[in-house]
Amino acid sequence: MYFASDNSSPVPPQVMDALARANEGYAKSYGADPIMDGVRARIRELFEAPEAAVHLVATGTAANALALACFCPPWAAVYCHAMSHIEEDECGAPEFYTGGAKLVLLDGADAKIPPEALERKLGHAASVGVHNVQRGMLSITNTTEAGAVYSPAEVTALTEIARRYGLPCHMDGARFANALVSAGCTPAEMTWKAGIDVLSFGGTKNGLMGVEAVVIFDPAKSWEFELRRKRGGHLFSKHRYLSAQMAAYLDGDLWLDLAKRANAAGRVLSEGITALPGARLLHPTQANMVFAAFPRAAHRRARDAGAAYYFWPMDQSLDGPDEEPLTARMVCSWCTTDEDIARFLAVLRG
Ligand SMILES: *Cc1c(COP(=O)(O)O)cnc(C)c1O
């Protein structure tokens, strides 16, 4: 009954096998390995972007911070949601890697930026010339931090506004696969066809040991990315082990299968929780994350039975009235089983 996060899951056997296969003989280092040639070709094919720059890093924070740095000058603003990972969970890496760009926060339900909010914010920006931070870029997260999914049309609505002001657009896709299978569109439709310039293409939350790809649709930015990655200490020397994970992830569409499993588990869990007495969802379940309120007594039973998940927000207490609802985040992964969910729901029902 482990619902703390999808990055707590083990690595699928296909990925471990690929690592073992890559662990033979010698290979060129620093991304010049032949497995990486295949990864680059496959990602370009998947995204229908034959020119795209494709580079690997080991963390989502590095992917995001380096991607932003390539597009946003130090004196400009990154427009993002107040709940975004770049704001809440990256310890200032975006500010650090951009050399001081300012995150300007927007509110909106389900961690999505409403187009009107972006329009209003951009309309008010840069009104006093040299004295204030300039408009820099847009960053959105799909799947959002609240488990919701932007459709390609919703992405386009935001990027069109940004584009009118000449701003490039980033997508934090730590859970890109979950968003894609939920929206039922192609990788191209979700990204460059919807106005995205650079994507952090997540692997770790969806089963890899630790690899994310940065996909830059304008190849002219590729060299700058490479320099920034090296300078930032994120160019792996034994790179073949990153490449091998990503190759296995893409092979036979494993990445989509893993996300479908995680999303299906999310759906079952969400329906089960909704049916509990006194429970309600905080956000619609559109991928593999369930945000819900349910009575404290059920949380106590879950804790006693060893279930793992986070209170959301975290500063809530099991001490207090039984019926009072407490809010929680529960995340399913590619290996969450129906039995895990059934047991968890039985414990919650009491
Ligand atoms: C997990 C996550 C990341 C990446 O986090 P790292 O811990 O740096 O790998 C980025 N964005 C979102 C939305 C995430 O959930």
Q: How far is CA 64 from the centre of its chain?
A: 10
Would the CB of 178 count as within 6 Å of ligand 1?
no
The pLDDT value recorded for residue 126 is: 67
Average pLDDT over residues 270-298: 97
Give the separation between CA 11 and CA 6, rounded to whole angstroms. 11
pTM of the model: 0.98
Ligand 1 pocket test, pick from 9, 85, 176 with the greatest ligand atom count within 8 Å of Cβ, gives 85
The pLDDT value recorded for residue 272 is: 98
Average pLDDT over residues 44-48: 98
Instruction: Return the CATH number of the domain spanning residue range 13-253.
Output: 3.40.640.10
pLDDT above 70 for 344: yes
Half-sphere exposure of residue 104, counting CA atoms within 13 Å on the CB side?
22
**Contact between 59 and 115 (Cβ < 8 Å):** no
pLDDT > 70: percent of the chain = 99
pLDDT above 80 for 290: yes
Encoding tokens for residue 49?
């972007």
**Contact between 52 and 60 (Cβ < 8 Å):** no
Q: Lowest mean pLDDT: which of 31-45, 115-129, 305-319?
A: 115-129
Mean per-residue pLDDT of the chain? 97
Would the CB of 204 count as within 6 Å of ligand 1?
yes
Encoding tokens for residue 58?
């080991």
Domain boundaries, the chain: 13-253, 255-349
Tens digit of each residue's pLDDT (9 = 90 or more) over 251-271: 999 999 999 999 999 999 999
Give the separation between CA 54 and CA 213, rounded to whole angstroms. 7
pLDDT above 80 for 37: yes
The ligand 1 atom at the shortest distance from the C-alpha of residue 62 is 8
pLDDT above 80 for 125: no
pLDDT above 90 for 79: yes
**Contact between 62 and 55 (Cβ < 8 Å):** no
Look at ligand 1, atom 2, and give the residue with the nearest C-alpha.
174
How far is the CA of 87 from the CAs of 94, 104, 139, 300, 336, in angstroms? Answer: 8, 9, 11, 31, 29
Confidence of residue 281 (pLDDT cuts 50, 70, 90): very high
**Contact between 82 and 57 (Cβ < 8 Å):** no
Average pLDDT over residues 91-119: 98
pLDDT above 70 for 192: yes
Look at ligand 1, atom 3, and give the residue with the nearest C-alpha.
60
255-349, superfamily in CATH? Aspartate Aminotransferase, domain 1 (3.90.1150.10)
Give the separation between CA 261 and CA 284, rounded to whole angstroms. 18
Give me the residues paired with residue 53 across strands. Answer: 216
Please give the sequence-ordered ranges of beta strands (E in DSSP) within the chain, or none if there are none.
53-57, 76-81, 102-106, 134-141, 169-173, 198-201, 212-216, 280-281, 289-295, 310-311, 325-331
How far is the CA of 31 from the CAs of 28, 229, 262, 309, 318, in angstroms? Answer: 7, 12, 30, 37, 49
Average pLDDT over residues 173-199: 98
Half-sphere exposure of residue 251, counting CA atoms within 13 Å on the CB side?
15
pLDDT above 90 for 295: yes
